[in-house]
Each structure stands twice: as structure tokens, then as C-alpha cells.
Structure 1
Amino acid sequence: MSMKRSLRSAACGMVAATCLGAASAQTPAQPKIAPGPNEPDWIVVLKDRYGLSMYDDLLNPVVTTAAETSGLFRKAGDGPVIYRPVIALGLETRNRGGWYRPQAVGAPSKSETWTYTFKNTTRDLETDANLPPPLEAGAKVEFDPGDEPFGLWASNDGLDDGGVFSEPAVVARVNKRLAPQPYKAMIYPNRDKATGKPIPNSYLIGWEYSTNDDFQDVVCQVDNVVLLGPARAAEPVR
């Protein structure tokens, strides 16, 4: 099925079957995923663009509570970490992203790497236009966190709330608006859809900085890292 047909016909039999299959793997504590308003659904984006199942391939599922769900990375090999947005479906005000060093209390010190002010359309995803979204002057996608664990973050200037973090516990501490449901990053292995094989040390993150939990406000790719904590996280490939 083409990307165009899937995006416009999410209720068709194939997508419906996919939804049912994915839902069966959802953990009881996992937050519900809502369809995007007049936007491609996260389940369709994952399946059609990356060959991924929304729940079967999820690397950071909520098993007990969101606050106990890990979301840290460490560098996998030589060279910088590469972290960049690849799809922009959130607010059209300025989006920001970067990394931080974890700490037990309070708000971590954030290092900003990129910004953009742009929103993709469904048509963009159908035709591969404007992907990845254009970054603003001065933005960069590489950084070197050394050998210590680190987290990632994203935010939007239209929401004055501290942003969202790959660790739900940090969201709960920092973002009062989102504290009731602080799980705001769904992390997946990045996969070559043509071969079905995972791309070594590469991950996709579906970010949610609103409250509707459609998890495609910003979709990012991060490379040269290994995800720490979850049982399904892989060891680095060198």
C-alpha cells in the first residue's frame, strides 16, 4: 500500500488490522495514543515510512509507571552524536531541541542544538517534500556528550512550560502542565524499510509536547548512540 493511500485511508482493512495487531502488544500502563487532528496518524507514519509497529517495536514501553521508564542514551562509538528533526507536525511557532545531562532533582541544564519554525503537511509526507524540515541559521545537528549518559529534549516557544524530555521523570519534575502524563517520547529502532534490517546505533523518537498524545509533534532521528535501560534496548554495534 502506498504512503499516499494509507494516509488518506487510515480506516482501510490493512491499516485496521495493523492497529489491532499493535494494540494487542500495548502494556496496560502505556498511555493511549490519539489520532492526529487532520494529520497523519503515528501508527501510519511508523508503518509506511519505517516498517515499524507502534507497540511491538517500541523500546521504552511503560511497564510500571511513566516515572520509572528510562530514556537515557550514551554515545556508541567515535565521532559526534547526530540528533535532528526529520518530520515536523507540531505547532508552527519555533521548535527547539538538544541534549542534557541527567540529574536526580530539579531541572537539568539544557544544551540547545537546533531550531526550526516550520510545519509539514500530509502532502509533504505523501511526496517526500520538505523532509527533513529546514533548520534555522546557526542550528547544528551534531554534539559530543562524551562517554557519560545523557538525555534528549524538545520544546516549542508557543508553550512556556520547560519542554519535554526523553526521561518521563524529568517531564514530571519540570513541566507542571504535562506532569499528570509525563511520558512524552516514544523511542524506536531506526530500520531500513527496504531490507527490514535495523540501522546500527540509530533510533527514532516521536515527541509529544501537547496534551493530545498523538506523538508526532516532532519526529527525530538520533545516531551513534545506544539506548540505556529498557530490556529491549540493543548494545552498540561497532
Structure 2
Amino acid sequence: MAWRNALRRTLAAIVCLLALPLADCRAQTAAQPKVAPGPGEPDWKVILEERYGLSLFADLKNPVETKPEKVSGLFRKAGPGDVTYTPLIALGLPTRTRGGWFRPEAEGRPAKAALWSYAFKNTADDLKANRNLPPPMEAGSSFRFDPGAGPFGLWVSNDQFDDGGVFTRPAIVAAVNARLRKQPYKAMIYPYREKATGKDVPNSYLIGWEYSDNDDFQDVVCRIDNVVLEK
């Protein structure tokens, strides 16, 4: 009978391994933009799994259910003190990248506030060796701000593109960025998870940004703390 028990364990392990990618497929909605890894660049799916213990679609907190413009992409402060918005990995263009926050406006461009900037590009070797992480910031950069009690969003931009940047709220990208209007969903938001413990950090999120049009979603990887994500 021992061989039967061993066979059962082997079959169970095979079923579990086969089920893992299927779970990701079931979690991806039909309207969700596809992630397309760039040639020779770290894959966003692999970064999520290896560094944060996250699933590309199963852990995604801002999926596209119908249209990108329907995704909120806004946050509210969770508790006392400042909100912190920190770049962790820079895999986009080496030209200057900027980041900050905004208040949504009823019409026109949102009221943007700048926080930090860098002119740097991490390599795959940097990620393997945990080197140059986070990327070196330029003088005057700050990570802390107080948005008050109302809703707010985040943005990044790269000086290679004179288009106002991208925002966590896709409707704003569609409204102000002609270059990316056809695909305005440019930020994938996840819970920030400690890989060692497998536990999510309360009121903390990980964001994979795409400011170009190839949708690899790892141009900038950021963390935001002391917030809740609006649905």
C-alpha cells in the first residue's frame, strides 16, 4: 500500500503545480491589459513573485473589469501622520523620472504636486545583487506629504515624453495624454507584502508603473504607505 500513498502524494503535487498558473488565468479579466515583458528586461511577473511573493493577477487590487476609465486609482490617507510615496526600482528610461501626487479635478488637468526625481536606470544585475536599490534620488527629493482627508492619486513622468505623465487614475491619462489615450491604464496596484513572512503590510501598496506604450509595467516600481485604496 505504500506505493499507492506515494502515488497519491505525487499526483497531488502535480495537480497543485498545474493549478498555480490556472489561478492566475482565472484572475485576469477579459478587459485587463496584457503585460508584455521587454526584451532582455526583468519580467514584472517574476519581480512580483520573487521579491514580494505576489501573483500578477490574483493579487491585483485595481483590475480592469469593464473599461480602464472605470478604475478608480485613488487613495485616501489611512491614519495620522504623513503619507510616504517611495520609488523602489527604476527599470525605465535613464532620462529623468519624476513622481508626485495629485488631487482629482472635475475638469482639465489635475493639480499635481512634485515629490521626487531621479536620472537612473537599474539593471537586471542590480536586482539580483540588491544593488542601487532604491535608485539614487536627485537633490530636493522628498517622499512624505499630507494629502488631507480627501481622495488623491499618484503620478509619474519621464522627461523623454512631453505629455504630462501617467496617473493611477486611468480616466485622467485618457483625458490629458494623447500619446496613451488608447490604453490609459498605466499603474498596477498590489498590497505590499513582506516576502519573508508572506503577510501584507497594513495600509501599504506596491505599484508597477508604465509610462511608455509597451506595457511591461516595471518602468518604475513604487511603494505607498498610510493609505487605503478606493474601489
TM-score (norm 1): 0.88
Q: Does 1:75 align with 2:53?
A: no
Choose from 81, 84, 87 the match for 1:85: 87
Q: Which amino acid aligns with 2:204?
A: S
Equivalent position of 1:183 in the other structure = 185
Q: Please give the alpha-carbon distance, in whole angstroms, between the structure 2 residues aligned to 1:63 and 1:219.
A: 23
CA distance in 1, matches of 2:25, 2:220: 23
Structure 2, unpaired ranges of 5+ = 1-16
SS of the equivalent of 1:82 reads strand
Matches within 5 A, 1:117-128: 117-128=119-130
Distance 1:101 1:166 in 2: 11
C-alpha contact (below 8 Å) 1:192/1:199 kept by paired residues? yes
Residue 110 of structure 2: which of 87, 108, 111 is its match?
108
Q: What is the aligned-residue RMSD (CA, Å)?
A: 1.6
Looking at structure 2, the residues matched to 17 and 125 of structure 1 have their Cα atoms a distance apart, in angstroms, of 28
Q: Secondary structure at the match of 1:177?
A: helix
Deviates more, 1:18-27 or 1:151-160: 18-27
CA drift at 1:20: 5.0
- Calculate the TM-score normalised by the size of structure 2: 0.90
Q: Does the Cα contact within 8 Å between 1:185 and 1:207 map onto a contact in 2? A: yes
Q: What is residue 14 of structure 2 aligned with on the other side?
A: none
Identity of aligned residues (%): 66
- Correspondent of 2:100 among 98, 101, 112: 98
Match of 1:143 among 142, 145, 155: 145
The residue number in structure 1 matching 2:12 is none
Deviations 1:9-37 (A, max 9, x none): xxxxxx99855542332000000110122
Pairs within 5 Å for 1:37-52? 37-52=39-54
User: 1 or 2, which has the higher helix percentage?
Assistant: 2
Counterpart of 2:95, as a letter, is T
Match of 2:223, SS?
A: strand
Match of 1:213 among 207, 212, 215: 215
8 Å CA contact 2:79–2:227 kept in 1: the answer is yes
Question: Which of the pair has more CA radius of gyration?
Answer: 2
CA contact 1:36–1:42 (8 Å) conserved in 2: no
Structure-2 separation of matches of 1:134 and 1:164: 22
The ranges of structure 1 where at least 4 consecutive aligned residues each deviate by more than 2 angstroms after the TM superposition are 15-21
1:9 matched to which residue of 2?
none
Cα distance in 2 for partners of 1:41, 1:149 equals 31
Structure 1 residue 84, shift from structure 2 partner: 1.1
User: Using a 3 Å threshold, how does the CA distance of structure 1 residues 42 and 19 change in structure 2: closer, same or farther?
Assistant: farther
Contact 1:19 1:43 in 2 (8 A): no
Displacement of 1:182: 0.3
In structure 2, do the counterparts of structure 1 residues 47 and 106 end up closer, same or farther at CA, with 3 Å as the change threshold? Answer: same
Q: Relative to structure 1, is the Cα distance of residues 200 and 100 closer, same or farther in structure 2, using a 3 angstrom cutoff?
A: same
Q: In the comparison of the two structures, how many residue pairs are matched?
A: 216
Residue by residue over 1:148-204, the C-alpha shift from the partner in whole angstroms, topping out at 9 and shown as x without a partner, is 110000000001111000000000001000000000000000011111111011000
Q: Which residue of 2 aligns with 1:192?
A: 194
CA distance in 2, matches of 1:167, 1:202: 18
Within 2, Cα distance between the matches of 1:32 and 1:119? 24
Q: For residues 187 and 67 of structure 2, what CA distance do their matches in structure 1 show?
A: 14
Counterpart of 1:140 in structure 2: which amino acid?
S
